Structure 1
Amino acid sequence: MDEPYNLELFPGCQIKLLLFRNIRNAAALKRKAMEGSIEGALLNPALILDALQIRVAANKAIHLHKLGKMKTRSLNAEIIFNLSPTNNISEAFKKFGLSDSNSDVLVALTDDGRNTLNSQEIISHVDGQQVSLAELSQLTDITQVKKVYKITAQEEKIGSILDAVICRMSTKDVL
């Protein structure tokens, strides 16, 4: 259910994704994350099409962390920021981060070579049901994804929505 992914660009670094449904303590989780007492990026799964999105954001976050060029204060915040197609940090947190009203949460735990992945600790904080990551597609709001990433009908004809999302995430600093 929570197998770690090795980050191809950074041997020794991993990311583990945990999906929870029917959570009843979203506000408390968000507060703990903001205080730094929870290690993990708490994500709104409605805007996540595939785990690849998170792996791309994590690779970029670790790269910027190692260079000392992060735009946010923590690796977890940088992952959330890197999911966004814009350079507006507060907008990224509003759209991609956990909100007080969310009933589902996707947690990204990272091991950048200095810390270990401790899924049991995060599981103990979540008042909800952990489910298989395979259920992520049931939680994705395709209409919202297209709106947030400004995906056109033409782009959908050329490739997949996931391709367009990854391109938007990857080129936001270039444009």
Structure 2
Amino acid sequence: MALECINLEHVPASHTIHAALFQNIKNASFLHQQLLAGNTEFEYALIDASVIISRLHALAAIYRAVNDLLGNKLRSRNVHSEIVFSLSPNNNIAESFRRFGISPETTSLLVIKVSTPSSPAAGEDIQSHLSKVVDGEQVDFSDGVLRAMTDMVRVKKIYKLNYSSGVNGRGKENAVYGSDRTSQDSKELEMLILGSMALRGATN
């Protein structure tokens, strides 16, 4: 499975986004330590994929972080930490890292790399590095794969949603999943989460 290069609308071509999704991670503790140590070879957004419900959920955070970078409005150390922070429904940066960032217990991992003019990175170099340092299975960064990883109970708790969708717990789908009703529920849940992210700061 290859690293994905993502072009976001209204984001300059000079700011390239690369994404890779992994499951069955066996060295999360090592990766977490590199992040804590500020190892510059690990300049990535390392996100616990169990709290990401869809591609749009992740891309919304990336878009906001890159725009904040371009507008010199970063609240955290760099654009990669800002992506993790942008997933949060509140302004507590440390809490956002605990909730959305990699931890020693992480088993599914979304890795985002933003290449900028001041810090360029080629896709093949990123892929080569990740293949060496991430002990896990690289999988497709798709809604279907993410859905199987999502801990929906945890997601609803983080975003304080008392919303009942067709997904129950981590990767547990009821018999009607895929029906129009359940698909609609899933989309409505996604919109509630995106709204909570967008309103961060307005009510905190």
- C-alpha change, 1:150 and 1:127, in structure 2 (3 Å) is same
Q: 1:11-50 alignment to 2 at 5 Å?
A: 11-12=12-13, 13-34=15-36, 35=38, 36-50=40-54
The two structures have a TM-score, normalised by structure 1, of 0.90
Q: Does 1:169 align with 2:173?
A: no
Report SS of the residue matched to 1:11: coil
Deviation at 1:113, TM superposition (A): 4.3
What's the CA shift for 1:133? 1.9
For 1:65 and 1:11, locate their aligned partners in 2 and report how far apart those are by CA, in whole Å: 12
* Alignment deviations for residues 87-137 of structure 1 (CA, whole Å, 9 cap, x no partner): 101110001000011122111122234422422212211011112223211
Distance of 2:34 and 2:157 partners within structure 1: 30
- Bigger relative CO (Cα 8 Å, ≥ 6 apart): 1
Residue in 2 aligned with 1:71? 75
Q: Residues of 2 paired with 1:49 and 1:17: CA distance?
A: 15
Identify the residue that residue 176 of structure 2 maps to in structure 1.
none
Percent identity of paired positions between Structure 1 and Structure 2 = 30
Distance 2:117 2:10 in 1: 13
Shift of 1:46: 1.0
1:99 correspondence with 2:127: no
Preserved contact between residue 156 and residue 163 of structure 2 (Cα < 8 Å):
no
| Unmatched segments (≥5 aa) in structure 2 | 166-183
- With structure 2 as the length reference, what TM-score do the two structures score? 0.78
Query: 1:38, 1:122 within 8 Å by CA — same for their partners in 2?
Result: no
CA RMSD of aligned residues (A): 2.1
The structure where helix makes up a greater share of residues is 1
Is the 1:45–1:106 contact (alpha carbons within 8 Å) kept by the matching residues of 2?
yes
Cα deviation, residue 55, structure 1: 1.3
Secondary structure of residue in 2 paired with 1:133:
coil
Partner of 2:56: 52
Q: 1:163 to 1:24 in 2, by over 3 A?
A: same
For residues 65 and 201 of structure 2, the distance between their equivalents in structure 1, rounded to whole angstroms, comes to 13
Deviation readout 1:6-26 (Å, 9 max, x if unpaired)? 121213133222111111111
Cα separation, 1, equivalents of 2:17 and 2:65: 12
Is the 1:9–1:59 contact (alpha carbons within 8 Å) kept by the matching residues of 2?
Answer: no
Are the equivalent residues in 2 in contact too, given 1:15–1:55 (CA < 8 A)?
Answer: no
Aligned equivalent of 1:122, options 118, 130, 149: 130
How many residues are matched? 175
